[in-house]
Amino acid sequence: MDPKAFYAMSYGVYVVSAWDNGRPTGCTANCAAQITSSPATVMVSINKDNYTNKCIKDCGHFAISVLAETSDPAIIGTFGFRSGQDYNKFDDVDYSVKDKMPVLDDCCAYIACKVIDKMETSTHTVFLGEVIGAETVKKATPMTYAYYHGVIKGKTAKNAPTYIAEEENAGAAEKYTCPVCKYEYDGDIPFEELPDDWVCPICGAPKKIFEKK
């Protein structure tokens, strides 16, 4: 089995949000899709270790904010690198409550859903939601997972004012790579100092399985 075969599958980049006792929270996700058209239903797959998973189960609803190529890449960091249990992620972004759900302003569309079914897998819950509201927020090209990896990562690094210095300084630094999705950690916080419940922002793999290179 060649894990690279999985890379050929195409995805978008989403922030999936829910309420945590009146406090908005959420996480990044790449696996979301429309399942039926009438009634309209969509699915999202959320790692059971993500706090958002619990919140979706508790509040019975979720919303999908579809990121655009023009969306601030920091959103992915905010919603992918921290646990919503410890941090108010929505404090870092502009958002609105639409169809009673928290939705990012910096996205191209949102879909708000009521959970009507779910399928548990070894590590993820596949939630099926009946759509209660969906609107285009901004006319923009949706961000694909391939774009995030191929374009944002490159551009962010090259265009960042600190790029050269960091690259030079980081020459001897150890790299930590997700064995699942091959994401290479490049955050500001040293990898060792990330909390133990930190998970791969791309695929949700736990910190402890990251490989040092």
> What is the rounded CA–CA span in Å between residue 194 and residue 207?
8
Cβ atoms of 116 and 29 closer than 8 Å: no
Residues in the chain: 213
Per-residue contact flags (x/-) with a second copy for residues 51 to 80, judged by CB under 8 A: -------------x-x--------------
Other CB atoms within a 10 A radius of the CB of residue 66 amount to 24
Nearer to a second copy, 23 or 123 (CB): 123
Taking CB under 8 A as the criterion, the residue among 21, 22, 37, 172 binding a second copy is: 37
> What is the rounded CA–CA span in Å between residue 178 and residue 174?
13
Q: Write down the least CB distance from residue 188 to a second copy, Å.
A: 17
Q: Write down the least CB distance from residue 156 to a second copy, Å.
A: 10
Instruction: Write the burial class of residue 122 (CB in 10 Å: 0-12 exposed, 13-18 middle, 19+ buried).
Output: exposed
Nearer to a second copy, 88 or 165 (CB): 165
Nearer to a second copy, 20 or 45 (CB): 45
Closest CA to 178 of 209, 152, 147: 209
Q: Write down the least CB distance from residue 86 to a second copy, Å.
A: 25
Nearer to a second copy, 18 or 43 (CB): 43
Q: Write down the least CB distance from residue 45 to a second copy, Å.
A: 5
Task: Give the 3-state secondary structure of residue 103.
Answer: strand
Taking CB under 8 A as the criterion, the residue among 52, 134, 185, 201 binding a second copy is: 134
Whole-angstrom CA distances from 145 to 4, 75, 114, 176 are: 15, 14, 25, 20
Q: Write down the least CB distance from residue 94 to a second copy, Å.
A: 19
Nearer to a second copy, 88 or 136 (CB): 136
Per DSSP, 146 falls in state H
Binding stretches for a second copy (CB under 8 A): 1-12, 31-43, 45, 64, 66, 108-111, 117-119, 121-124, 126, 128, 131, 133-136, 142-146, 161-165, 180-181, 203, 205
